[in-house]
Amino acid sequence: MTLAYVRLEMVRLLRDPGYLVMSLISPLVMYLVFTNLDLGRQGSDGAAAYSMVGMAGFGAIGAVMGNGVSIAEDKPLGWIRQLRLLPLRPVNVVIGRTLCAMVVTLPPILAVSLAGGLVNGVSLGAGRWAAVVGLLWLGIAPIAVLGIGLGYLLTAQQAQMAGLVCYMGLSLLGGLWVPISTFPGWLTNVAKATPINRYGELSWRITDGHAPTLLGVAVLAGWAALFVAFAVYGYRRSARTA
């Protein structure tokens, strides 16, 4: 039943691809502009790889936050009432929507990664390329769940504002735009506790030739558990009022 629900949601999602285009174009353009402005000054292949991961992650976050807004827009149309007729537990609904959200993150992740390799000369072995792209895709799951929770709990306008704050604010704080090593000491510590920084860290470490740290994975897993509980609560509350 969960897989059937995922297929249903994917069909509905692909009928409105507008925000997918925005989540693809914005990070790709930013990556090409930022790296061509900065690389000449820094002269660093590492800078291109760092920015590639950051902008790919930025695009993925935009896609999953857009998914949350679409959920909020569906509520007044009675979609939640329709879901209550299906034999689906709230956690299955959250998992299904998470899988759908993760699918739509692939275009920005792949586009920015291709630009990194073909335009800016980021050079990685086949295994490291696969690990970078795979971790960018798998690691977005907790953020996708956060977007889903916001969509179920808030109105469309509120979800759009909250999603924008998470999209821009957490991306900046998490180091997707600039390394957190440039932050003041206290802000660096705050950034390391955010799910966005730990999400980016998974692939940044791969580009540097290292494996992800257990601490980073644990912090991201902790946020994932918290966001799942939040999304399930949001769905149950939305279902009660539908």
Task: Give the pLDDT of residue 26.
Answer: 81
pLDDT at 105 over 70: yes
List, for residues 143-161, the tens digit of each pLDDT value.
Answer: 999 999 999 899 889 998 9
Residue 84: pLDDT band (50, 70, 90) is low
Average pLDDT, the chain: 84
Instruction: Summarize the confidence of residues 77-93 as an average pLDDT.
Output: 70
Task: Give the pLDDT of residue 214.
Answer: 96
- Ranking 61-65, 68-72, 180-184 by mean pLDDT, the lowest is 68-72
Residue 91: pLDDT band (50, 70, 90) is confident
Q: Are 52 and 31 in contact (CB under 8 A)?
A: yes
Domain count, the chain: 1
Domain that holds residue 129: 2-241
List, for residues 162-187, the tens digit of each pLDDT value.
Answer: 988 988 999 999 999 989 999 998 99
Q: What is the pTM of this model?
A: 0.87
Task: Give the pLDDT of residue 224.
Answer: 96
Q: Is 123 helix (H, G, I), strand (E, B) or coil?
A: coil
In angstroms, the CA 97 to CA 231 distance is 10
Residues ≥6 apart with Cβ < 8 Å to 54: 175, 176, 177, 200
List, for residues 217-228, the tens digit of each pLDDT value.
Answer: 999 999 999 999
List, for residues 184-207, the tens digit of each pLDDT value.
Answer: 989 999 999 999 999 999 999 999
Q: Is 8 helix (H, G, I), strand (E, B) or coil?
A: helix
Q: Is 167 helix (H, G, I), strand (E, B) or coil?
A: helix
